[in-house]
Amino acid sequence: MSRTTKLVALTAAASLTLGLAACASERDPGTSPTTAGGGATTTAGGGEAGGLIGIAMPTRSLERWNNDGKHLDELLKKAGYETSLQYADNKVDQQISQIETMVNSGAKVLVVASIDGEALGNALEAAAAKGIKVIAYDRLINGTEAVDYYATFDNYKVGTLQGEFVKEQLKLDSEAGPFTLEPFAGSPDDNNAKFFFSGAWDVLLPFVESGKLVVPSGKSPKTNDDWKSIGIQGWETAKAQSEMDNRLNANYQDKKVDVVLSPNDSLALGIEQSLESNGYKPGADWPLVTGQDADKANVINMLADKQAMTVWKDTRTLGDQVALMVDQIVKGQTVEVNDTETYDNGKKVVPSFLLAPQVVTKDTVKSALVESGFYKASDLGL
């Protein structure tokens, strides 16, 4: 994976400032965050803020997207835009129809967190034909030229953080093992899931090949490209729970699982429910379980020793960055990106802005998630 990223400001950084944050102070900002430059908007491109921005989110059934949509919607409204925030209940046809409505309503920019990254080409090409710009939000949209920018967290890094955490906690470089591992991957239609798995498996596969990690279920991809064989459709908690039940019932009558690689928190929650119903006890024989997103139920499980870590992606900062990109597009300014090599969508390498994810554990919940205002202490029973 060529990981060369370089800061590419595609123009001298004009002093473009918006009524938008470079960073949010509150999860649900009551106050419009201050801008780095003090708020005066000088526009290098001469355009004006305003007009309709379409925000297409995949579903409300996965916690993080509710936070993403709400924050971005509020930021854009505060910056003087009209918005159409739509959730598609994880139904691809519904998302396509919502995008078509945004196009027909005269949207200037579409911000799209796709359900199926391969399914939006026709709808977005119709948008492009009308001069509408498209920002892929968090999930890359593939197979079409009609994606102008991509904004996300470094997805490969998310997986690397998970893999490295397992390696360090189990001391795989020094301990003899073998340790039992059950790996999971995300939804097969989500481009991110490939990167999450690859980042983790690039760390862990050598230990599987050496025999220090063993996979009793046999569900151990031989290469990163086999990740879909252990994918959980739609990132559904219930599907992860039943898959873990099946693996435990079929392969663990005479042994215990030591570590579960879960790519995100919605899967980890199902895996943890399975572990509990199969008699595992936190602090006794509970395995190391990974996750991502710092979903509330999983943070509470971390505090109860039912999950070892989550990779936190402060979705407020993603919203801040995308709102800035929208404004730069509408005002005819150059859009800042910091990665012009990694994200090839099959038709083009999409100019991207990557944000940095970070590991949160039980010991850092307060400093990372409460002190930043992402959660209130009372949200977490603290």
CB of 285 to ligand GAL, least distance (A): 28
Give the burial class of 63: count Cβ atoms within 10 A of its Cβ; 0-12 exposed, 13-18 middle, 19 or more buried: middle
Interaction of residue 68 with ligand GAL, rule CB under 6 A: no
**Among residues 138 and 182, whose Cβ is nearest to ligand GAL?**
138
> In the bound complex, what is the minimum distance in angstroms from residue 360's beta carbon to ligand GAL?
14
Least Å distance, CB 337 to ligand GAL, is 19
* Positions 178 through 197 that interact with ligand GAL (CB under 6 A): 186, 190, 192
> Is the Cβ of residue 294 or residue 365 nearer to ligand GAL in the bound state?
294
Q: Is-contact 111 326, C-beta < 8 A?
A: yes
Size of interface with ligand GAL, in residues (CB under 6 A): 12
Task: State the nearest-atom distance from the C-beta of 150 to ligand GAL, in Å.
Answer: 12
Residue 235 interacts with ligand GAL (CB under 6 A): yes or no: yes
What is the x/- site pattern for ligand GAL, positions 279-298, by CB under 6 A?
-------------xx-----
Answer yes or no whether residue 335 interacts with ligand GAL by CB under 6 A: no
Nearer of residues 90 and 273 to ligand GAL, judged by Cβ: 90
ω before 178 within 30° of 0 (cis)? Answer: yes
Which CB atom, from 192 or from 301, has the smaller least distance to ligand GAL?
A: 192
Phi-psi category of residue 51: left, alpha or beta, with phi > 0 → left and psi -120 to 50 → alpha = left
Between residues 24 and 158, which has the closer beta carbon with respect to ligand GAL? 158
Which residue lies nearer to ligand GAL by CB, 287 or 357?
Answer: 357
138 binds ligand GAL (CB under 6 A): yes
Task: Note whether 307 and 272 are within 8 A (CB).
Answer: yes
Find all residues with CB under 8 Å of 312, minimum gap 6, and list them: 293, 294, 357, 358, 359, 360, 368, 369, 374
Which 297-326 residues touch ligand GAL, going by CB under 6 A?
Answer: none
Name which of 5 and 66 has its Cβ closer to ligand GAL.
66
Enumerate the β-bridge partners of residue 110: 54, 134
Q: Counting every residue, how long is the chain?
A: 382
Choose between 43 and 264: whose C-beta lies nearer to ligand GAL.
264
Q: Which is nearer to ligand GAL, 110 or 232 (CB)?
A: 232
Give least dist CB 338 to ligand GAL, A.
Answer: 18
- Using CB under 6 A, pick the residue from 180, 198, 262, 264 that binds ligand GAL: 264
Give 33 or 186: the residue with its C-beta nearer to ligand GAL: 186
Do residues 163 and 199 lie in contact, with contact meaning Cβ atoms separated by under 8 Å?
yes
Least separation in angstroms between CB 304 and ligand GAL: 21
Q: How many CB atoms sit inside 10 A of residue 381's CB?
A: 9
Q: Give me the 45-64 binding string for ligand GAL, x by CB under 6 A, dash otherwise.
A: -----------------x-x
In this structure, what is the dihedral angle of CA atoms 232, 114, 87, 70, given to the nearest 10 degrees? 100
CA distance 93 to 374: 33
Cβ of residue 209: shortest distance to ligand GAL, in angstroms? 28
Q: What is the rounded distance in angstroms from the CA atom of residue 249 to the CA atom of residue 167?
A: 26
The strand pairing partners of 182, in sequence order, are: 260
Q: Is 37 helix (H, G, I), strand (E, B) or coil?
A: coil
Q: In what order do the strands lie in the sheet with 259-261?
A: 213-214, 179-183, 259-261, 288-289
Q: Which two tokens stand for residue 6?
A: 């370089």
Beta carbons of 193 and 162 less than 8 angstroms apart: no
Q: Are the C-beta atoms of 367 and 361 separated by less than 8 Å?
A: no
Q: Smallest gap, in angstroms, from Cβ of residue 153 to ligand GAL?
A: 7
Answer yes or no whether residue 237 interacts with ligand GAL by CB under 6 A.
no
Which residues make up the interface to ligand GAL (CB under 6 A)? 62, 64, 138-139, 186, 190, 192, 235, 264, 266, 292-293
